[in-house]
Structure 1
Amino acid sequence: MTEEEFDAFYAAAFPRLTGQLYAFTGDLGEAQDVVQEAFVRAWDRRRKLVADEAPEAWVRTVAMRLAVSRWRRAKRWLELMRGTPPPEPAPGPGPERTALVAALRLLPEPQRRAIVLHHLCDFSVEQVASETGAPVGTIKVRLSRGRAALAKHLTVDEAEEPAWREGGRVG
């Protein structure tokens, strides 16, 4: 089968085979995928297809087998997933993390961004400046003021124990 003959065969048979596989699978996208894959495999053996005298039947058989194989793989995957217990829920943030986030929200955005980039993302002062487009000196001021503000928000008066300390001093 020449390339031109194969192209004509493909143009004539693809819609028909897709319709047949759609009826078989119930999924048009899946039908198109398996028929396309079957034609790719047919291309590799196009010279032998002429000798078979039933190239469309060969492509249909390959497409059906591909569809069944995909269905079996999906079924096995579902069985495995059903047999696997769901993962344990991840614990939420601790009280210290919650207090830090609440305190960060009280800072002006430029200070908060500088603090987060420098202390939580481990950026150098120069990297923070590059990221924000601010001069290095400005970043140093934002970090200094931000740390001072955080210290005020996170400092606890010993007379009033916060709920996150869970009943006592952290020693």
Structure 2
Amino acid sequence: MANHTDPIRSRLAGLLPDLRAFARFLARDAALADDLVQEAVLRALRAESQWDPETSLRAWLFRILRNAFLEQVRRHGTERRALARMPAPDGPQPAAQEAQHAVSDLARALELLPLPQREALILVGAHGLSHEEAAAVCNVPIGTVKARVARARAALARGMVPVEQEEGAGHASA
């Protein structure tokens, strides 16, 4: 069995930056993201015999991390809603370069996207997963991932984010 688990343990460290980046987009908080990554790694190591070497280890780990995040959201729903309603602190901002403003604007625009669209865009656009891998991570059909990515890109290109919430895990409506 060592041959089956060695690839996970040897490749895990190289995937930590990607896991942390995905967790930061989901949690929007560095400390929570680190906790999510730690939880995902622990779960992966406990379930390493369940990983199929014929599949993407990266996608498998992203799915574990996503499931840990969704569990956390369900457990702490009330707390998260209260925190989301709190206004951002108004304070003096140091002089920033144009690129920093653009990144900050993009981060705010991404936060306004519905979670399913933001998640699909980050998996495909930022992490370079294929639509098929992203569909496996999100446990939805590949067409749903493609639709979510297209809607997210269109919203960002328009400079506005849709007010309506994304449909569930079912088929996308045009």
TM-score (normalised: structure 1): 0.40
Query: Larger radius of gyration, structure 1 or 2?
Result: 1
Higher relative contact order (CA closer than 8 Å, sequence separation 6+): 2
TM-score (norm 2): 0.39
